[in-house]
Amino acid sequence: MSKTAPTKDPQSRAFESRILGEREKLKSSLEKLEQRVEQSTLGPKSKAILRQTLEHESIGHLSFGLFPCPPVVDRAKGAKMWDADGKEYIDFHSGFSVNVLGHCHPEVNEAVKVQLDKLQQFAELPCQVRAEFSEKFLGLLPWDYPKKCQITVTGGEAVEVAMKVSRWYTGKPIIMTQYGDYHGRTAGAMALTSKASMLAYHYPVLPGDSGIFRFHFAYCYRCPFGYSYPGCDIQCVKAVEYLFESKETWLNNPGAGITNVAAMIIEPFQSSAGYIISPPEYLQGLKAICDRYGILFVSDEVQSGMGRTGKTWAIEHSGVTPDLITAAKSLSNGLPISVCAGRKEILDSWGPTAHSTTYCGYPVACAGGLKVLEIFERDKIVEGVAKKGEYLAEGLRSLQRSHPIVGHFDCKGLYAAIELVRDRRTKAPAGPETGYVLTSCLDEGLIFIASGYFYNRLAFAPPFVISKDEIDHGLAILDRVLSRAEQKFDIKP
């Protein structure tokens, strides 16, 4: 007797085709990536390495998502990078804001070499360099309360610690975060991260964390509520307040005075979403809500922290005191180390083994980190970033004046972005134009990334050691390429 396959009802077919369609868009076949390599303007050595990579590594890594065809980095020094064919690039990216003191900083490298020959790793057991690193790091937190830190390896892991310890300390289940935030791609942090592409990567199992609640970030150039800043009375904060005042959400029971929320874990400025800077009143408003309802305020400074914005922590621009912060990337100028730090009473509220991975407190990274922190202090690095930021902002302002495609720019310290539009009045996002500008700048020897809610932002995070000449060089490339984009896509004032 022949069996017929069960027919699916139209609704489940619709679901399947929708989600599979989404996944299809994210997928890029190996053949397509190989074609991109062959069609790129890269030299023969770079192409050979890319072919080798595609042959042996899963295509699930990041590089072909960042660039149509990624450059093959051979070596880097200061604010410059060279590819496998010797082509030089000005670095407006710092490997995602990691190599802030410049690539291959001699003093940091020396400290790392010494530690490599002394002790590399031993089961997370304490050692002197780690103890010194923690002490020095806590000295970077300007807030007036007793402090502690938990050392981890990646930014996502530091966020996991913040999530776990906030729930442990408060005994409450919900973590609030912002649409557009990026907090990492480990399972816990990924539940906090909102990127459209994540939705399809979650399929068929959605994030296992049902205690995540989102609200809108203050993206003032495209206010989700249709207001203009200033003069909006910070409606975005009012919208969050409303969630607590009504009894129609499961966040809060106003009658009983019970709040279910452990923490707000937010990016003060949204980095992966395109280096978007929020106004201080927004962060102050969120903090006031946290204070009113006994919610912990956690500032994820993995990308915005350690001087990038011209202050040690981005949250300092608003004067808000966070209960915890997370930091990573720039901590060791290129070695994997991250930290969740803040109020002692929170970080001492749990017990041994509450969090662990094999490389937590990796002594070699601690040695690099300790040297980075010494250099920060000795060379007044953060003050230098603030000054260079003013210079960069002036350059971006001038690009905005001369290019109708530049709808808006953000800049604090060396944390900067420009937003490309087809028309300044309608603010129609210039998506294909953005892709063109990214690739053309790369061809001309300037590296940065493109991102944004509408993939129309160019995000700039140069190393803190970049010189004015190098900034000028980068801006001159941008200027030329923007003119070409305006011509090619017929963008007029």
Ligand X SMILES: Cc1ncc(COP(=O)(O)O)c(C=O)c1O
Q: Hey, which bits of 147-255 come out as E strands?
A: 147-152, 174-178, 212-215, 252-253
Query: Under a CB-based contact definition with an 8 Å cutoff, are residues 137 and 305 in contact?
Result: no
CB 157, min distance to ligand X, A: 7
Compute the distance between CA of residue 54 and CA of residue 33 in angstroms, rounded to an integer: 8
Query: Under a CB-based contact definition with an 8 Å cutoff, are residues 342 and 265 in contact?
Result: no
Q: Which residues bind ligand X (CB under 6 A)?
A: 96, 154-156, 159, 182-184, 267, 271-272, 300, 302-303, 328
Compute the distance between CA of residue 304 and CA of residue 182 in angstroms, rounded to an integer: 12
CB 30, min distance to ligand X, A: 25
CB 182, min distance to ligand X, A: 5
Q: In what order do the strands lie in the sheet with 147-152?
A: 147-152, 338-343, 324-327, 296-300, 261-266, 174-178, 212-215
Q: Which is nearer to ligand X, 156 or 274 (by Cβ)? A: 156
Q: Which is nearer to ligand X, 87 or 317 (by Cβ)? A: 317
Q: Which is nearer to ligand X, 182 or 293 (by Cβ)? A: 182
CB 464, min distance to ligand X, A: 17
Q: Which residue in the shown chain puts its C-beta closest to ligand X?
A: 155
Q: Which is nearer to ligand X, 155 or 180 (by Cβ)? A: 155
Decide: helix, strand or coil at residue 41: coil
For 153-184, give the secondary structure using H, E and C: CCHHHHHHHHHHHHHHHHCCCEEEEECCCCCC
Q: Which is nearer to ligand X, 251 or 273 (by Cβ)? A: 273
First to last CA, the chain: 72
Compute the distance between CA of residue 475 and CA of residue 460 in angstroms, rounded to an integer: 11
Q: Are strands 415-423 and 406-412 parallel, antiparallel or unpaired?
A: antiparallel
CB 96, min distance to ligand X, A: 6
Q: Which residues contact 144 (CB under 8 A, 6 or more apart)?
A: 321
Compute the distance between CA of residue 51 and CA of residue 202 in angstroms, rounded to an integer: 29
Q: Which is nearer to ligand X, 115 or 272 (by Cβ)? A: 272
CB 185, min distance to ligand X, A: 7
Phi and psi, residue 219, nearest 5°: -95, 85
Q: Which is nearer to ligand X, 96 or 282 (by Cβ)? A: 96
Decide: helix, strand or coil at residue 78: strand
CB 416, min distance to ligand X, A: 16
Q: Which is nearer to ligand X, 129 or 190 (by Cβ)? A: 190
CB 336, min distance to ligand X, A: 8
